[in-house]
Amino acid sequence: MTRVEAPAGEPGDLGLELEAGTIVKCVTCHDTEIRGEVLALDLNKKAILIVSPLEPGSRHKHNTIHMLNTNNLKHVFVEKEPASQKERPLISLDNNKLTKRVSEQVDRKLERISHIGVGVSKEGQSLFNFIQKTIVDLTWSGKTIVAFKDVEIKEPYNDKDLSKVISGRNASSVDHISKLVRKHFEDKHKSTA
């Protein structure tokens, strides 16, 4: 096993070019050990990409990929030199799958952003988050919470006089939302008592 240390005064300078396919053990400045195969090394950005194999008996189906800042590495041990390029198969990537995954993540993030009320009180956001655990069809319209595109919950967000706070055309929807609002405030009062 070859040990590579960063020269004194030059953190992150590994002192060599590691090739893709090299099996390494990296020790971070926090004494965390990460073992795996080097996928990529960019000395200009001071980044190394390592794929760690699955642990025996792991529930996970995918390998773990670590992106490490070389400034945070104490030592890099080369455990095995890479095989020749002819022996190593290239990993194929499914671009359609990657594009779909990125699109889903962007949609998920945009949906989360839409669930944050602009200019609303902490109480209003807390009530929205509570109701959203049960009801998916929930949005903001200014400072008003709208459920099922019909039931509105207006400021002040409290359970004192629900007929002034909650309105809608469908009586069963209004009743359901009223129960959730009461439950939210009951839970809140229990936790502060």
State the pTM of this model. Answer: 0.48
Mean pLDDT of 82-110: 78
DSSP designation for 38: E
Q: What is the reported pLDDT for 146? A: 92
* Three-point CA angle 73, 78, 82, nearest 5°: 125
Q: What is the reported pLDDT for 86? A: 58
Burial class (CB in 10 A: 0-12, 13-18, 19+), 69: middle
pLDDT category of residue 145 using cuts at 50, 70 and 90: very high
Mean pLDDT of 179-191: 90
CATH numbers and ranges of domains, the chain: 2-80 (2.30.30.100), 111-192 (no CATH)
pLDDT category of residue 11 using cuts at 50, 70 and 90: very low
**Number of Cβ within a 10 Å radius of residue 27:** 16
Most confident range (mean pLDDT) of 2-16, 72-86, 142-156 is 142-156
pLDDT at position 7 over 50? no
pLDDT at position 88 over 70? no
Query: What residues contact residue 59 under an 8 Å CB cut-off, 6+ apart?
Result: none
Q: Is the distance from CB of 24 to CB of 3 less than 8 angstroms?
A: no
Q: What is the reported pLDDT for 13? A: 55
Query: What residues contact residue 128 under an 8 Å CB cut-off, 6+ apart?
Result: 115, 117, 120, 138, 140, 145
Q: Is the distance from CB of 77 to CB of 2 less than 8 angstroms?
A: yes
Mean pLDDT of 13-34: 83
Q: Is the distance from CB of 144 to CB of 127 less than 8 angstroms?
A: no
How many whole angstroms separate alpha carbon 150 and alpha carbon 173?
A: 8
pLDDT at position 189 over 70? yes
